[in-house]
Structure 1
Amino acid sequence: MRAVFGLVLIVGVALAGGAVYMARNYISAYQSELARQKQAAEEALANAKVDVIPTVTVYVSNRPLKYGERLTQEDVRAVDWPENAIPEGTFSDLTALFPESGANERYILRTMEKDEAIMEVKITRPGESAGLTSRLEKGMRAFAISVDVASGVSGFLRPGDNVDIYWTGSSGTVEGNTGGITKLIETNVQLIAVDQTAGSDVASATIARTVTVAATPEQVAALAQAQNTGRLSLALVGVQDDSVASAIEVDQRKLLGITAAAPEPKEEVEQVCTTRIRRGGEIVNVPIPCTN
């Protein structure tokens, strides 16, 4: 019995030793293969051609900036920007952004988030304030239009929006129409201020009393005449709408679908020509053929 037990023990130890030997060989082979693959990957990476993207220094905002705030050197920082993706109008030189001589104060014209590139269209020129004059392009004028909750699109107008302007008034006796008329007089006119706010970062709808638009002197004259002779209404134009509205004019008859009645045909009266002749002691009219 003891001999059998000893034999079983010897066989068990031999099997366990064999299993340990096989496991050690498997682990060793796995580690060798892993090291070989790692070395091959490193060699491939070392031999691969690495494309280096050229960069240029660009100044970005160091914090959120709102309309009207003064821009200081503490508000900007330099970052490396890919050369082929630089927005137009950025600054790569601090002295160009803040001139060393003369008036160098700059103010924010458009709200900017942190790490957004500082661009010429978003700030004033050196020494220029953030008033309406900085929002007007060459040849344009600022003109104020009185509005209410209806004509002002329920307070959803913002500086920078584009609107179509309609005039409603009495057309007098033009073309026989004695009622009111509504006509589109200007299209895609830009708003530069709502009440006393010229910044576009308005958080909620505000019922404005006046809006200020950028217009040419000729448009200003037309708008002034229209505002003094009738009522102006604004229609907000979509951001991606690049269509041009055609001439639109609606009167009461067109609104109600009333067509003018055709005039009754006139009866033709036969023309009779006569001449006077004397017969004895009296003068009588005698019919004769008409020559004309």
Structure 2
Amino acid sequence: MRLVFGLVLLVGIGLAGFAVYMAQNYIGAYENALVQARQNQVASVPTQMIYVSTKEIPYGHEITEEDIKLAPWPEEILPEGVFTENSPLLGPGIERRVALRNIEPFEAMLPTKVSEPGGSAGLTSFLEPGETAFALKVDVATGVSGFLRPGDRVDIYWTGKVNAGGQSGSVTKLIQTGVRLIAVDQKAETNANATIIARTVTVAASREVVSVLTHAQSTGKLTLSLIGVTDTALVEESIEVDQLSMLGIVAEAPQLAPKEESCFTRVRRGADVVQIPIPCTN
């Protein structure tokens, strides 16, 4: 009896193993057939490798290598002017590009969506958080003789008349230092080969600084002074010059007239005491 039970158990185990083996072969064959079908389907649609976005790229954002990748795109619906391996979007010799509009993930990168090499999406792409753009009127003298370029930093001096605190006259004062230029006239790109006699320059500054510059421009004359590229020193002290300090003249303190001495005598008149002035004697 035990022998029969053992034989039945062995036969059952064998049948179960055979069933698992057959199932594995069937599943493997099905997966291979599915992969082959997918490959045949892809092969039946001609594709071309083009650059697409890998994530959302906001307007004005500088496009980096991490923002794009090569991906297959059906040739039948291939957009015109796409960037490919032979005409890359970025690479050696190609300067920065920025998005000219919001680009969604896995969109085909097109020339209408990105700027030319070294281009920008407008002044907003040059502004940092908390900054605004403000235009200043300049001429040959106040604009450093046409040597200003976008990206330069300047000190701004104000010259005007002051009549406060008992003082009056013309004063020149450094009101802002290290202000960044983002455009000269209507150009935000740098061209080192051209000399521009600007009529306006646009600076990037906080709203508080813009309010100071607005008042200064309406009450006096502004002059720009170009700062060196390597100059990182901060001007902590107030710089102010008037006509006397410019000529090295020390203003004399006003002479106060001697105070006239007054002498009095007290006379009682009834219940009242009256103070009567009298000549002073030494």
Normalising by the smaller structure, the TM-score range is 0.5 to 0.7
SS in 1 for 2:209: helix
Question: Residue 263 and residue 78 in structure 1: after superposition, are their counterparts in 2 closer, same or farther (change >3 A)?
Answer: closer
Per the alignment, residue 20 of structure 1 pairs with: none
The amino acid that maps onto 1:213 is: V
Distance 1:203 1:272, change over 3 A: same
Q: Among residues 215, 239, 245, which one is paired with 2:229 in the alignment?
A: 239
- Distance in 2 separating the partners of 1:181 and 1:267: 33
Residue type of the alignment partner of 2:195:
A
1:180 aligns with 2:170: yes
Shift of 1:255: 1.1
> Secondary structure at 1:234's aligned position in 2?
strand
1:107 paired with 2:115, answer yes
- Does 2:203 correspond to 1:213? yes
Q: Supply the distance in 1 between the matched residues of 2:109 and 2:202 (Cα, whole angstroms).
A: 28
Once residues 82 and 196 of structure 2 are traced to their aligned partners in structure 1, the CA distance between those partners, rounded to angstroms, is 28
Aligned residue number for residue 27 of structure 2? none
Q: Tell me the alpha carbon deviations over residues 158-211 of structure 1, each in whole angstroms, 9 at most, x when there is no partner.
A: 000000111111112x23332111111111010000001100134122100000
Within 2, Cα distance between the matches of 1:241 and 1:140?
22
Structure 2: gaps spanning 5 or more residues: 1-64, 67-80, 97-102, 270-275
Alignment pair present for 1:144 and 2:135 = yes
Cα shift at 1:273? 1.9
Q: Which moved more, 1:194-203 or 1:152-161?
A: 194-203
Secondary structure of the corresponding residue to residue 222 of structure 1: helix
Mapped to 2, the partners of 1:253 and 1:288 lie a distance apart of 45
Per the alignment, residue 256 of structure 1 pairs with: 247
Q: Highest CA radius of gyration, 1 or 2?
A: 1
Match of 2:181 in 1: 191
- 1:276 and 1:286 in contact (8 A); partners too: no
* Cα displacement string for residues 44-87 of structure 1 (whole angstroms, at most 9, x for unaligned residues): xxxxxxxxxxxxxx79xxxxxxxxxx9955144668xxxxxxxx
Give the C-alpha shift of residue 264 in structure 1. Answer: 2.7
Instruction: Say if 1:78 and 1:138 are closer, same or farther in 2 by CA, change over 3 A.
Output: closer
Q: Report deviation, 1:287.
A: 6.7
Deviates more, 1:232-241 or 1:260-269: 260-269
C-alpha displacement of 1:274: 1.5
Task: Note closer, same or farther for the CA distance 1:135–1:177 as it changes in structure 2 (3 Å cut).
Answer: same
CA RMSD of aligned residues (A): 3.5
Local SS of the residue matching 1:253: helix
Distance in 2 separating the partners of 1:99 and 1:220? 37
User: What one-letter code is carried by the residue in structure 1 that aligns with 2:168?
Assistant: T
CA contact (8 A) 1:274 1:288 kept: no
Structure 1 residues 98 and 236, CA gap change in structure 2 (3 angstroms): farther
- The structure-2 alpha-carbon separation of the partners of 1:235 and 1:139, relative to structure 1 and needing over 3 Å to count, comes to same
Partner AA of 2:122 in structure 1: G
Tell me the alpha carbon deviations over residues 17-46 of structure 1, each in whole angstroms, 9 at most, x when there is no partner.
Answer: xxxxxxxxxxxxxxxxxxxxxxxxxxxxxx
Superimposed CA distance per residue, residues 232-267 of structure 1 (whole angstroms, 9 cap, x where no aligned partner)? 110000000001123111111111222222333543
Counterpart-to-counterpart distance in 2, 1:164 and 1:71: 45
C-alpha change, 1:76 and 1:212, in structure 2 (3 Å) is: same
Query: What fraction of aligned residue pairs are identical, expressed as a percent?
Result: 46
CA distance in 2, matches of 1:109, 1:143: 26
CA–CA distance in structure 2, aligned partners of residues 233 and 146 of structure 1: 10
Unaligned runs of 5+ in 1: 1-57, 60-69, 80-88, 90-96, 111-122, 125-129, 279-284
Q: Which residue of 2 aligns with 1:168?
A: 159
CA contact 1:171–1:181 (8 Å) conserved in 2: yes
- How does the TM-score come out when normalised to structure 2? 0.56
Task: Check conservation: 2:155, 2:224, Cα contact below 8 A.
Answer: yes
1:106 Cα deviation from its structure 2 partner = 2.3
